[in-house]
Structure 1
Amino acid sequence: MEYLEDVFVTEGVPQFTFVKPPNYTALLVDLRRKGKPVVVEGQSGTGKTTTVKKALAEIFPDNTPTLLTPREPAHLPIIQSIDESSGDKTFVVDDFHRLDKATKGRLADLAKVIAERDNRDGLPKLVIIGINNVGSDLIQMVPDIAKRMAIHRIAPGTPDVITEMITLGSGLLNIEFSAPEAIIEDSRGDYWLTQQICRTICIASGVDKTQPEKLGIEWDPDEIKKQVVDTLHHNYDPAVREFCRGRRFRPTNDPYYKLLRAVSEQERSNVDLNELANARQDIKGSINNVKDHRLRVLLEQKEACARLFYYDADTKNFAIEDPALFYYIQNLNWEGLRQRCGFRDDPRDFEWDVAISFAGENRPLADFIGQQLRELDISVFYDRNYEDNYLGGVWSQQFNEIFVEKSRMIVAILDNHHKEKVWPTFERDCFTVRVPAKEVIPVFLDKTIFPGIPTDLVSIHFQYDGDVDAQKDAIIDDVVLRIAGKLDGL
């Protein structure tokens, strides 16, 4: 007799329902080869870590090496201390892509040094596990390592492989699932999800151990999805809400929510945000809003989010490494989440919260205001930050889109220079149509009067003496925080 929790396993390595991927033997041989660096990569949920654990247990039955991961603070000093003098040990570094660049580069160099030695006695063996392309990324760090290392990609389970897993578990429990093809379809080749779905179906049917007589189990896919999501809710909802609300909550600050919802609609949990933005024109502005800076800072400052989400700001690769989390967001009630987050509905999608219009004489002031707003998790269009994006384009057309359509609010730093200069005047012609909708925040530096901007419009009046450093505190208190307060109230 077997117990359900030992058959369909959602924690640790399955004893009875582990299914070897097609390249298991090749991986085993390379893991056994003394000193040869090994990279195991693949998308989340393909069983990379489980497969490596199983192979290592076969190679080292009495003393299986411990898996090290940067997710565990206690493991970081061990990872950082691995060098040529570490002895004849096997070091398995999981979540390699989460290491800082310096540590990844050092381990790549170490792998090269070890691989080049004819005699590897006394030298450590490196096994690196990570998401897709970690092998090619490693090769780019040390190009001539390619021929001296082994790269194994663990692919998602085929329908035949997932069927084998279900059959093994069903046989041990003496049960038969109706519509096993629905389990295969829902799991999408994900080993962990297959285990979880089968386990949930059994629990819903009152099966907790091997049945004395063959039992057929009928199940409702929609109901099982709901139960799986309910089971995962307490684990993931706080961090998902924290991610969606961003670093500073505002009822209109929802680009993180839109991004995550778009990711949940993808086939894979690894997404190139440039590609996603181009594919989703309806929320392109929101994705562009966060992908260059804000998303990276969010994960740096929110530990709960960093544990669940990975982002490489250089490659724009966003990943959900936990298959349970990906399944959770794929089947989440997103409108319910939006209400729990406290967002207001707005059919418009903005690329920036604020666009700053200013004359060149006030560039240091505009630059400082933009920097401080970004510190408050407010996205800002400031021309110098985006010049490369518009190379080859016509500024008049770009400015018309930026100041009319792509920015939620306009911050106009107004003085005589702004009135006399050509480009600020063009910008002003673009955004004054938004004054009646209260979407322009004038910051007056003098008493210059502007057509289209009423003199009695509630505005910010700031006496700027041209020295930002000397007036930093006043600029933050009298200008930046008032702009942020306006956005908070939208």
Structure 2
Amino acid sequence: MAYLEDVFVTEGVPEFTFVKPPNYTALLVDLRRKGKPVVVEGQSGTGKTTAVKKALAEIFPENMPRFLTPREPKDLPIIESINEESGAETFVIDDFHRLDKETKERLANLAKVIAERDNRDGLPKLIIIGINNVGSDLIQLVPDIAKRVGIHRITPGTPAVISEMIDLGSNLLNIAIKKPEAVIEDSRGDYWLTQQICKSICISAGVDQTQEKIREIDWEPTEIKAQVVETLHHNYDPAVREFCRGRRFRPTNDPYYKLLRAVSEQERSNVDLTELANSRQDIKGSINNVKDHRLRVLLKQKEACARLFYYDADTKNFTIEDPALFYYIKNVNWEDLRQRCGFRDDPQDFEWDIAISFAGENRPLAEFISEQLRELDVSTFYDRNYEDNYLGGLWSKQFLDIFIQKSRLVVAILDKYHKEKVWPTFERDCFNARVPEAEVIPIFLDKTVFPGIPADLVSIHFEYKGDVADQSDAIIDEVVLRIAGKLDSL
């Protein structure tokens, strides 16, 4: 007789449904070697910690080493105190990637010193567990440690391995789960997610222990997915919402939401954002809006998001390495998520929040306004930032699109130069029709009168003296923040 919670285990180490990763024996040998530092890396859900615990249970059947993690405040002083004088104790440091750089570097140097000793008797053994590339990161901290440390990558389970796990549990419970291939496909090699899906299937069928007679269990994927999503909700919802809302929340600032929703509709969790944008004309503007700069900055500033999402700004590859997270976003109710994020419905997809129109004499001012808006997570069309994108094309054609339909608002820096020059005049001809719709924010630098722009139009009047550095604070207070405020009110 076995109980469901002991068979398909979602907390702790599974006793009956543990399957060895392909490199388990190599890991066991390095863990057994006295003093040899060991690094175990892999994406979330691949069973890194479980594999280490199983191997250590074989090595230390009566005195399992203690696992330490930065997640536990009480463990941090112990981690900080590990040194050459710690004796022949085995220290397992889980979630190594969460330590600060100084501590990681100190432990890496300690590992190097220990590894270099011919006789390691009496020295501590370090076992480091972390996310993908933690071994590579360690080598970057201490370059000459590579050949002295055992680095083992635990990869997601193959379909055969996941099938073995399902069979082990099913045999113990005396059941047969129909459509096991659907469980294998949905889990994407994630051991924990496989356990959770199987557990949810059993609960939905009222199976809580070994059945007297073999029982065949049919299940409805939609129902099980909803149950698993509910289970995952508290783990992922805060970070997913934080990602969707961006660096600076505005009810109309939803390009991150649109991007993540589009990723959830892909078959693979590694997505080229340039290809995705080109294949989704309906949200192309939103994806292009964030993929060059804003997404990288978001992940740099939002630690909770950076733990779940990875973005290579050079290749434009956006990756979700945790299969359970990918399962969550593929099956979450996106309309409900949109409401919980606080977004308003917006039928039009804009590539930029702001497009700046200016004469060449005011380029330093336009560039400064663009930079400051960018810091506020406002996407801004400033021509020099996008020249490479339009090489070989006609500015006249691009400006027609940008100032008429690709920008949410137009900011026009108006003075005598703007009225006299050919290109600024062409831009005004493009956006003048938007003035009655309150979609143009004029910044008057002098008293020049412009046809099509009413004298009583609510505008920004700014006395620009030609030196941005001298007036930077005033520009931010009187111009930039007012533009951002207008966006916030939309």
TM range (shorter): 0.7 to 0.9
Contact 1:202 1:208 in 2 (8 A): yes
Gaps of 5+ in 1: none
Q: CA deviation at 1:426?
A: 6.1
Contact 1:351 1:406 in 2 (8 A): yes
Q: Name the CA distance, whole Å, in 2 between partners of 1:299 and 1:471.
A: 31
Aligned partner of residue 408 in structure 1, secondary structure: strand
Q: Name the CA distance, whole Å, in 1 between partners of 2:284 and 2:342.
A: 22
Contact 1:293 1:313 in 2 (8 A): no
Aligned partner of residue 261 in structure 2, secondary structure: helix
Decide whether aligned partners of structure 1 residues 14 and 454 sit closer, same or farther in structure 2, where only a CA change above 3 A counts.
same
Q: Which residue of 2 aligns with 1:158?
A: 158
Q: How does 1:418-433 map to 2 (within 5 A)?
A: 418-420=418-420, 424=424, 428=428, 431-432=431-432
Letter in structure 1 aligned against 2:308? F
Q: How does 1:55-70 map to 2 (within 5 A)?
A: 55-70=55-70
Decide whether aligned partners of structure 1 residues 292 and 3 sit closer, same or farther in structure 2, where only a CA change above 3 A counts.
same
More divergent stretch after superposition (171-180 vs 225-234) = 225-234
Contact 1:8 1:198 in 2 (8 A): yes
Aligned partner of residue 176 in structure 1, secondary structure: strand
Contact 2:200 2:224 in 1 (8 A): yes
1:413 aligns with 2:417: no
Aligned partner of residue 309 in structure 1, secondary structure: coil
Q: How does 1:67-82 map to 2 (within 5 A)?
A: 67-72=67-72, 75=75
Contact 2:291 2:313 in 1 (8 A): no
Per-residue CA deviation, residues 326-378 of structure 1 (Å, 9 max, x unaligned), is: 32211112233223334334454434322333445545544543344344332
Per-residue CA deviation, residues 94-152 of structure 1 (Å, 9 max, x unaligned), is: 44445555655555555444434433345444434344444445445555444333332
Decide whether aligned partners of structure 1 residues 458 and 330 sit closer, same or farther in structure 2, where only a CA change above 3 A counts.
same
1:201 aligns with 2:201: yes
Q: How does 1:338-349 map to 2 (within 5 A)?
A: 338-349=338-349
More divergent stretch after superposition (224-233 vs 140-149) = 140-149
Q: CA deviation at 1:243?
A: 2.9
More divergent stretch after superposition (32-41 vs 220-229) = 32-41
Q: CA deviation at 1:441?
A: 1.7
Q: How does 1:37-436 map to 2 (within 5 A)?
A: 37-72=37-72, 75=75, 84=84, 87-99=87-99, 104=104, 107-139=107-139, 142-267=142-267, 269=269, 283-291=283-291, 293-295=293-295, 298=298, 305-306=304-305, 309-311=308-310, 320=320, 323-359=323-359, 361-363=361-363, 365-382=365-382, 396=395, 400=399, 403=403, 406-420=406-420, 424=424, 428=428, 431-432=431-432, 434-435=434-435
Contact 1:90 1:126 in 2 (8 A): yes
Aligned partner of residue 54 in structure 2, secondary structure: helix
Aligned partner of residue 413 in structure 1, secondary structure: strand
Decide whether aligned partners of structure 1 residues 333 and 361 sit closer, same or farther in structure 2, where only a CA change above 3 A counts.
same
Aligned partner of residue 39 in structure 2, secondary structure: strand
Q: CA deviation at 1:195?
A: 0.6
Letter in structure 2 aligned against 1:414? L
Q: Name the CA distance, whole Å, in 2 between partners of 1:319 and 1:151.
A: 23
Letter in structure 2 aligned against 1:215? R
Contact 1:43 1:269 in 2 (8 A): no
Decide whether aligned partners of structure 1 residues 371 and 155 sit closer, same or farther in structure 2, where only a CA change above 3 A counts.
same
Q: CA deviation at 1:320?
A: 4.7
Q: Name the CA distance, whole Å, in 1 between partners of 2:192 and 2:242.
A: 25
Per-residue CA deviation, residues 411-456 of structure 1 (Å, 9 max, x unaligned), is: 2222234445676556556555654554332211112234554545
Q: How many matched pairs?
A: 488
Contact 2:261 2:329 in 1 (8 A): yes
Contact 1:296 1:311 in 2 (8 A): no
Decide whether aligned partners of structure 1 residues 197 and 147 sit closer, same or farther in structure 2, where only a CA change above 3 A counts.
same
Letter in structure 2 aligned against 1:250? R
Contact 1:369 1:480 in 2 (8 A): yes
Contact 2:296 2:313 in 1 (8 A): no
Q: CA deviation at 1:171?
A: 1.8
1:30 aligns with 2:41: no
Per-residue CA deviation, residues 40-68 of structure 1 (Å, 9 max, x unaligned), is: 33333222222222223322334434444
Decide whether aligned partners of structure 1 residues 90 and 410 sit closer, same or farther in structure 2, where only a CA change above 3 A counts.
farther
Q: Name the CA distance, whole Å, in 1 between partners of 2:106 and 2:278.
A: 36
Q: Which residue of 2 aligns with 1:448?
A: 448
Decide whether aligned partners of structure 1 residues 4 and 455 sit closer, same or farther in structure 2, where only a CA change above 3 A counts.
same
Q: CA deviation at 1:408?
A: 2.6
Q: Name the CA distance, whole Å, in 2 between partners of 1:73 and 1:231.
A: 26
Per-residue CA deviation, residues 186-210 of structure 1 (Å, 9 max, x unaligned), is: 2222211111111111111111122
Give the share of equivalent positions with the same residue, in percent.
79
Q: Name the CA distance, whole Å, in 2 between partners of 1:201 and 1:243.
A: 31
RMSD value, Cα: 3.8
More divergent stretch after superposition (87-96 vs 167-176) = 87-96
Q: CA deviation at 1:386?
A: 5.9
Gaps of 5+ in 2: none
Decide whether aligned partners of structure 1 residues 368 and 70 sit closer, same or farther in structure 2, where only a CA change above 3 A counts.
farther
Q: Name the CA distance, whole Å, in 2 between partners of 1:72 and 1:274.
A: 40
